[in-house]
Amino acid sequence: MSSRRRPTQAMTAKTVTAGVAGPGLGPLRHTRTDLLDIAYHDVGPAHGRPVLLLHGWPFSPVGSYAEVAPALAARGYRCYIPYLRGHGATRFRHADTFRSGEQAALGQDLIDFMDALRIPQALFAGYDWGGRAGDVAAALWPERCTGLASVNGYLVQNLAVAREPLAPALEEGYWYFFYFSTERGRQGLQRNREDLARVVWHRNSPEWRFTEAEFEEAARLWSNPDYVDVVIHSYRHRLAVAPGDPRYAELERRLLDLPKITVPAVTLDGQADGVIPPTDGSGYAAHFAGPWTHHVVPNAGHNLPQEQPGAFTAAVLEADAMG
- Dump pLDDT digits (tens) for 129-165: 999 999 999 999 999 999 999 999 999 999 999 999 9
Lowest mean pLDDT among 3-7, 66-70, 283-287: 3-7
Q: Could you tell me how far CA 175 lies from the centroid of its own chain?
A: 20
pLDDT tens column, 53-107: 999 999 999 999 999 999 999 999 999 999 999 999 999 999 999 999 999 999 9
Rounded Cα distance, 127 and 267, in Å: 10
Q: Is 27 helix (H, G, I), strand (E, B) or coil?
A: strand
* Pairing between β-strand 265-270 and β-strand 91-92 as defined by DSSP bridges: unpaired
Rounded Cα distance, 304 and 125, in Å: 11
Q: What is the pLDDT of residue 323?
A: 84
Domain boundaries, the chain: 9-321
Cβ atoms of residues 270 and 304 within 8 Å: yes
| pTM, full prediction | 0.93
The four Cα atoms 55, 60, 65, 67 give a dihedral, to 10 degrees, of -160
Q: Please name the residues in contact with 163: beta carbons below 8 A apart, sequence gap of 6 or more.
A: 239, 240
Cβ atoms of residues 71 and 316 within 8 Å: no
Cβ atoms of residues 259 and 156 within 8 Å: yes
Comparing CA positions, the residue from 38, 41, 59 lying closest to residue 217 is: 59
CATH of 9-321, one of 3.40.1800.10, 3.40.50.1820, 3.20.20.70, 3.60.15.10: 3.40.50.1820
CB burial readout 186-214, b (16+ within 10 A) else e? bebbeeebeebbeebbebbbeebebeeeb
Rounded Cα distance, 198 and 196, in Å: 5
Considering just the CA atoms, what is the radius of gyration of the chain in Å? 18
Q: Please name the residues in contact with 190: beta carbons below 8 A apart, sequence gap of 6 or more.
A: 228
- Which pLDDT band holds residue 9 (cuts at 50, 70, 90)? very low
pLDDT tens column, 233-253: 999 999 999 999 999 999 999
Task: Give alpha helix (H) positions in the chain.
Answer: 61-65, 68-73, 103-116, 128-140, 168-173, 175-180, 183-191, 193-204, 212-219, 227-238, 249-255, 304-307, 309-321
* Pairing between β-strand 36-43 and β-strand 77-82 as defined by DSSP bridges: antiparallel
